């Protein structure tokens, strides 16, 4: 317990330099039940710009859009209550959909749960059994991996899909042992200096976390089952989530993708971060862990990424890529994002979580369209004073 307290204190200190730039995370409103079992529901607030809101909803559900694609679910939570929920034909509140890279943010939460239990210290080397102790990659800290400044050579989305790192790792030559494949990547930048979006790094985080939780598995099935049990008791069951998590043939949860959950369960996850890692009076994540997620990393040329979560910059469109939320007045918004347009957007100033699940086949132009749409939809809601 003492170790957990000390680690949490370090996290608070690490985030304190940026605390003045972070919008306060709102507390649970009085009289509103926590949604561990069921969500409280309420009508749209009176201050919503209905014209802008209705236009955005109509656009989303009027059929496949040229760039926005197909919207399958939209869920909006404000003040602890569901104020809007809609599904496309063939989908319901009970339909589990693929997280894709939204899972990276879930992995961030799982590492936080391990930190709270004293199993992980993020400023220590993370390591891998695939590296010798003298290998410089073995000295990279958990913090650097979580902020994606590890320095490994990795290209997430090459134009040639056969060369794209994520496709090769999950479906190509790395598919039988994703952690071994990720650990084979060479170091090309000094750790802590260069941001590069990397599913391989998150795979290595999930592998190291699994070794911290299950250090002595009998076989792949035992590894998978014991890790599943820990994830359920340490995170999912505590907030009422009931996801399906996929594993590779070595019994490793992918970490970077392939978590299947309902829109309401993804909403619960976003809500945990809106409430600062506290759920129904109990700490699920260490104090300061959410602030760590929503604080920019050390690369001065990157202002759209924290620790396994995407950020909204206070000025400008974002570096090196355009921010999802395009209105800098909502600079407190941070988001989990996944392939084909899966998003959870958390906006503390509005006490709001928005989930959108769907499908598009485009690249930058589709993400730009989703960002414009999300900004208009969320912007239709009024701010809420921090409690």
Query: Counting beta carbons within 10 angstroms of the beta carbon of residue 181, is it exposed (0 to 12), middle (13 to 18) or buried (19 or more)?
Result: buried
pLDDT at position 167 = 65
In angstroms, the CA 169 to CA 107 distance is 18
Average pLDDT over residues 347-356: 98
Peptide bond into 320 cis (omega under 30): yes
DSSP-derived 3-state class of residue 101: coil
| Enclosing H/E stretch for 245 | strand 244-245
Report residue 161 CA to chain centroid gap: 24
Phi, psi of 114 (to 5 degrees): -70, -35
DSSP 144-158: HHHTT---B---TT-
pLDDT at position 156 = 85
What pTM value is reported for the model?
Answer: 0.94
In angstroms, the CA 37 to CA 138 distance is 42
CA–CA distance from 161 to each of 157, 196, 253, 360 (Å)? 7, 18, 23, 17
Q: Is 68 within 8 Å of 356 (Cβ atoms)?
A: no
Instruction: Give the residue with greater pLDDT, 172 vs 380.
Output: 380
DSSP 203-218: HHHHHHHHHHH-SS-S
Query: Counting beta carbons within 10 angstroms of the beta carbon of residue 147, is it exposed (0 to 12), middle (13 to 18) or buried (19 or more)?
Result: buried
pLDDT per residue over 27-64, tens digit each? 999 999 999 999 999 999 999 999 999 999 999 999 88
Q: Is 86 within 8 Å of 106 (Cβ atoms)?
A: no
pLDDT per residue over 229-268, tens digit each? 999 999 999 999 999 999 999 999 999 999 999 999 999 9
pLDDT at position 5 = 41
Q: Is 367 within 8 Å of 318 (Cβ atoms)?
A: no
* Whether residue 1 has pLDDT greater than 70: no
* Whether residue 161 has pLDDT greater than 70: no
pLDDT at position 157 = 73
pLDDT at position 64 = 86
| Enclosing H/E stretch for 110 | helix 102-116
**Which structure tokens are listed for 184?**
């084979």
* Whether residue 326 has pLDDT greater than 60: yes
* Whether residue 203 has pLDDT greater than 70: yes
Q: How many residues does the chain have?
A: 387
**Which structure tokens are listed for 197?**
């979006």
* Whether residue 138 has pLDDT greater than 50: yes
Cα R_g (the chain), whole angstroms: 20
pLDDT band at 387 (very low <50, low <70, confident <90, very high): low
**Which structure tokens are listed for 327?**
């209105």
CA–CA distance from 78 to each of 82, 200, 346, 353 (Å)? 7, 34, 10, 7
Domain 2-10+28-379 CATH superfamily = DD-peptidase/beta-lactamase superfamily (3.40.710.10)
């Amino acid at each position: 317990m003492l170790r957990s307290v000390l680690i949490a204190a370090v996290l608070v200190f690490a985030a304190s330099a940026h605390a003045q730039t972070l919008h306060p995370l709102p507390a649970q409103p009085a009289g509103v039940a926590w949604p561990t079992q069921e969500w409280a529901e309420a009508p749209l607030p009176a201050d919503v710009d209905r014209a802008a809101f209705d236009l955005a909803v109509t656009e989303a559900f009027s059929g496949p859009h040229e760039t926005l694609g197909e919207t399958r679910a939209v869920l909006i939570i404000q003040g602890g209550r569901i104020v809007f929920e809609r599904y496309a034909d063939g989908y319901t509140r009970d339909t589990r959909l693929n997280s894709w890279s939204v899972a990276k943010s879930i992995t961030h939460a799982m590492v936080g749960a391990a930190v709270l239990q004293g199993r992980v210290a993020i400023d220590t080397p993370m390591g891998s059994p695939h590296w010798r102790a003298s290998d410089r990659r073995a000295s990279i800290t958990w913090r650097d991996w979580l902020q994606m400044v590890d320095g490994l050579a990795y290209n997430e989305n090459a134009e040639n899909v056969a060369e794209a790192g994520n496709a090769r790792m999950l479906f190509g030559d790395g598919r039988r042992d994703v952690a071994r494949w990720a650990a084979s990547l060479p170091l090309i930048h000094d750790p802590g200096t260069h941001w590069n979006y990397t599913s391989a790094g998150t795979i290595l985080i999930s592998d190291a976390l699994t070794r911290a939780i299950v250090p002595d598995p009998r076989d792949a099935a035992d590894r998978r089952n014991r890790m599943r049990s820990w994830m359920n008791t340490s995170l999912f069951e505590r907030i009422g989530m009931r996801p399906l998590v996929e594993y590779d043939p070595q019994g490793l949860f992918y970490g970077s993708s392939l978590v299947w959950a309902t829109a309401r369960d993804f909403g619960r996850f976003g809500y945990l971060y809106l409430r600062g890692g506290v759920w129904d009076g109990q700490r699920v994540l260490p104090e300061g862990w959410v602030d760590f997620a929503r604080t920019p990393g050390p690369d001065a040329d990157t202002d759209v990424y924290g620790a396994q979560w995407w950020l909204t910059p206070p000025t400008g469109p974002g570096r090196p890529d355009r921010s999802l939320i395009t209105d800098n007045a909502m600079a407190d918004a941070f988001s989990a994002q996944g392939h084909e347009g899966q998003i959870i957007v958390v906006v503390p100033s509005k006490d709001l979580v928005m989930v959108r699940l769907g499908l598009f086949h485009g690249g930058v132009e589709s993400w730009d369209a989703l960002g414009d749409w999300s900004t208009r939809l969320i912007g239709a809601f009024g701010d809420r004073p921090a409690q």
